[in-house]
Structure 1
Amino acid sequence: MWRLIDLAGRNQAMLSPSGERGIASEFAAIQQAAGHIEVAPGVELARVLWTHGSAFRHRRVYAGIRALASRWPRGHAPQGFLLLFANGIEGNVIHAAGCDPIEVATRIQHPSIHGTPVAGPYLALIVIGELPQVKGYAPLRAYAQPIYSGQRFIPVDSDFERTVLRDLLRIQHRLDGHHYDSAITKPLFDIQTPAGNCRPDFIIETCSRETGENRIAIVEAMGFDTDAYHDAKAITHPRMEKIAPVIDINDTDLRDGALQARLLDLITSA
């Protein structure tokens, strides 16, 4: 799923003169990117990907897989994929938009913190394949990725990270008022640096419309206060500093408006 989101550019946010993003445009971008991924030799993901709950409710997913099954590459099991916006997950059940709850054969995989699932909304990827018990096709397994919202499919790793991203999106408008274009990226894969690999929470890149100067900053959402957490960050933050200055923000900083103040100071200072 991360590769698909990355290819579609849905892990990025930029101010668009054409208006805000919406759920239709998010899925359209993902569907287009799916044409560049193969799920079996010669079979593009776009041919076996459905993004509407109605396709499952009306069994069009099963009909589509059956229609392709006879031409499926030898040695590969025919399968299809549902990618749905979901408000909730519960055990092996996904509560997705546009259809009744979907029961999956196995427990749904999802990020959790100390055993507690990160709250939704989610982008849920469901694998449809042959299930001997039902003598046909059925949802086999699923992964539910927490995202910012139905209008922006930007992945988040925690509720706090979602809150930090909300502030970053507001700050984009402030930067625009200061004549800066900006792009926020949520890295989904490790970045190599001379000091080792790291994966920042957010990277914000700016360009002054007046001078053409480019600047970059990393924002780290410090959502925990444990020794193990701080020890891990003590290793990765110096690596991130090889990419750009790091602004680490905790809950108190966020409430006090420190993220906006520190980021604007870093970007707009001479």
Structure 2
Amino acid sequence: MVLSFISSDRCSHREMSKGVSNLLKAYYGGTKPVSENQTMLAQRVFGWMKTKEHYVVCDCERDEELKSKPATHEEARLSPLRGAALPGILRALPKPPNVGHHEDCDFAKGHSGASNVVPRLQKPDQKNLAVFGAYPLGQMSQQGTLRRPRSPAHKLPSISQVLFSVIEAAGLNRIDLSGSTVTPALDAYLKSEKLSLVPGFSLKKALVTGDRDDEIGGIRRIITLKKTIADVGRWPEDLRPQGFWCGVVSGFRANAKEDRYDVTVSNWTRLQHLESRPHVFGGYTADGARQPYIAIFGYALPAKDSGRVLGIRSFMQPCFDHDCWFPVDSDYERQTLRILIDVQRSHPQYNIRISKPLFDTPIPGISKASCKADFVVNFARGESDVEVAIETMGYTDQDYEERKGRTHPLMLALYKGLIQHRFVPGRKSELRRTFRAELMAFIERGEQPAYPTLAGA
């Protein structure tokens, strides 16, 4: 069965093609991961529905009486939500007059297509980064392992703040021409001394990192960490024993037989195990376009007297490559970063530094306003140091453009300029050249392109 379009005046009703129907089910119904190109297509269909004032007629199984009625009879419908804080939401209409969806319908479960929404993330108190609180954390599964509810795609779990704090403390979200003499794993471990689980208890005491070229040593460190967590007498009374592992991973898969998730660490032969599904920034794509990931695993005792330390929470953020922990939000951003690095290396006279803000940046002089650019490029022009925001424009739907139209003027209040790298199917090479030319024109002469999203600046 396939979904159908129906106009608001009910004068037009037609079935979708199987491909479009499956795409909307995957993206808006959450039936399976989608690629970034598929996300763009789903958003285009969504934009068309809003413009043409069309609804979606669901194909979920209802009672026999309704299935025998004409297509114009009241049916289980979905409406493209207007003015939503999260763009791209198909919402079930209230009943009456809308017929309720089947209880097993994917659209009735409240999933929304929000993979193009960048979560807002305030900088945490880096003296209070403890993730695990009082026992118990959640509900036990049938086989006895812990399961926590999955966080929505637009909201990051608290463990992500630990990862981002470690990356920022080690400067792994910055690239300059000087490079580094140590591996990202060692740098992250050493710099975690600056951070605390609770005041007076350094995060470094509860953190191990994974080097892709040291599997044996990495596994030994995880084993030692688990033993340290299990020895509850070594921990402050007001701090639940907990620990973390950071490293680059290629992906994960559900292991139904063992009731767990198996994670592939980059260049390691032995799988690592988690008791709950990892939260992946932006969602886990079917085509693997977002991998590799810089990941953090959170270890703790599921119960005070359980005696066995488990990997209970985890978060995975796409990163530049297997040897670089620099975070990116998508493969589109990864492509943008490649161009930025090439410009950096081919124009050393400008002393270009590339960074990625990990937390919201307040806007001076504007109360309660903040923004978070995809990248910030700092360079020398004459005697001045100049910062320009870089935005990867991976989507083309109206809601996305409107949202960027609100945040981009704020970025101009914080930085000296803003350059966009757009992605439109079929125009990749052309737009890559345009992005590079506009970036160089800004670096050399300060020329700011007149983008539509800056109309309100």
TM-score by length of 1: 0.87
- Is 2:315 the partner of 1:157? no
| 1:170-189 correspondence to structure 2 within 5 Å | 170-176=342-348, 179-189=349-359
Q: Name which of 89, 94, 106 aligns with 2:263.
A: 94
Distance (Å, rounded) in 1 between the aligned partners of 2:323 and 2:292: 11
Counterpart of 1:11? 173
Conserved 8 A contact 1:56-1:99: no
Task: Count matched residues.
Answer: 261
Task: Sort the Cα spacing of 1:33 and 1:239 in 2 relative to 1 into closer, same or farther, 3 A.
Answer: same
Structure 1 residues 203-248: Cα deviation after superposition (integer angstroms, max 9, x where no partner): 101014xx33322211110001111111110100110111221111
Distance 1:75 1:227 in 2: 49
The answer to whether the aligner puts 1:49 opposite 2:207 as a matched pair is yes
Output the CA distance in 1 between the equivalents of 2:226 and 2:274: 15
Higher relative strand content = 1
The secondary structure found in structure 2 opposite 1:171 is helix
SS of structure 1 residue aligned to 2:370: coil
Contact 1:164–1:254, Cα closer than 8 Å, also in 2:
no
Q: Does 1:32 align with 2:190?
A: yes
Task: Quote the residue 1:267 is aligned against.
Answer: 443
- What amino acid maps onto 2:264 in structure 1? H
* Partner in structure 1 of residue 411 of structure 2: 240
Partner of 1:105: 275
User: Would you say the 8 A contact 2:301–2:307 is kept in 1?
Assistant: yes
Secondary structure, counterpart of 1:4 in structure 2: helix
| CA offset digits 1:123-162 (Å, max 9, x no partner) | 1111111134963111111111111113321111111011
Closer, same or farther: CA 255–4 of 1 in aligned 2, 3 Å: same
Distance in 1, Cα, partners of 2:233 & 2:252: 34
2:275 alignment partner AA: A
Match of 1:72 among 235, 238, 244: 235
Q: Is the 8 A contact 2:185 2:247 kept in 1?
A: no
Within the alignment, does 1:136 sit opposite 2:308 as a pair?
yes
Q: Which residue of 2 aligns with 1:62?
A: 226
SS at match of 2:371: coil
Matched, 1:190 2:360: yes
* Identical counterparts, % of pairs: 23
Instruction: Confirm or deny that 1:221 pairs with 2:397.
Output: no
What are the ranges of 5 or more consecutive residues in structure 1 without an aligned counterpart? Answer: none
Contact map agreement 1:118 1:157 (CA 8 A) in 2: no
Query: 1:144–1:114: structure 2 CA closer, same or farther, 3 Å change rule?
Result: closer
Change (3 A) 1:163 1:21: farther
Distance across 1 between alignment mates of 2:361 and 2:264: 34
Distance 1:166 1:254 in 2: 14
Select between 253-262 and 1-10 the one with higher mean Cα deviation: 253-262
Q: Considering only CA atoms, is the larger Rg found in Structure 1 or Structure 2?
A: 2
8 A contact 1:104–1:141 mirrored in 2:
yes
Compute the displacement of 1:64 (Å). Answer: 3.2
Q: Higher RCO, 1 or 2 (CA under 8 Å, sep at least 6)?
A: 1
- SS for the counterpart of 1:126 is strand
User: Matched residue of 1:154: which SS?
Assistant: strand
Secondary structure at the counterpart of residue 160 of structure 1:
helix
Q: Which amino acid aligns with 1:258?
A: T
The Cα shift of 1:55 comes to: 5.4
Look up the equivalent residue of 2:274 and give its one-letter code: V
Q: Is the 8 A contact 1:21 1:152 kept in 2?
A: no
RMSD over aligned Cα atoms? 2.4
Q: For each residue in 1:85-124, what CA deviation from the matched residue of structure 2 results, as whole angstroms up to 9, or x when unmatched?
A: 1111335332113352222111111112597686211111
Three-state SS of the structure 1 residue aligned to 2:244 is strand
Alpha-carbon distance in structure 2 between the residues aligned to 1:83 and 1:110 = 14
> 4+ residue runs of structure 1 moved beyond 4 angstroms?
113-118
Whole-Å separation in 1 of the counterparts to 2:444 and 2:323: 29
Q: Which secondary structure does the structure 2 equivalent of 1:148 belong to?
A: strand
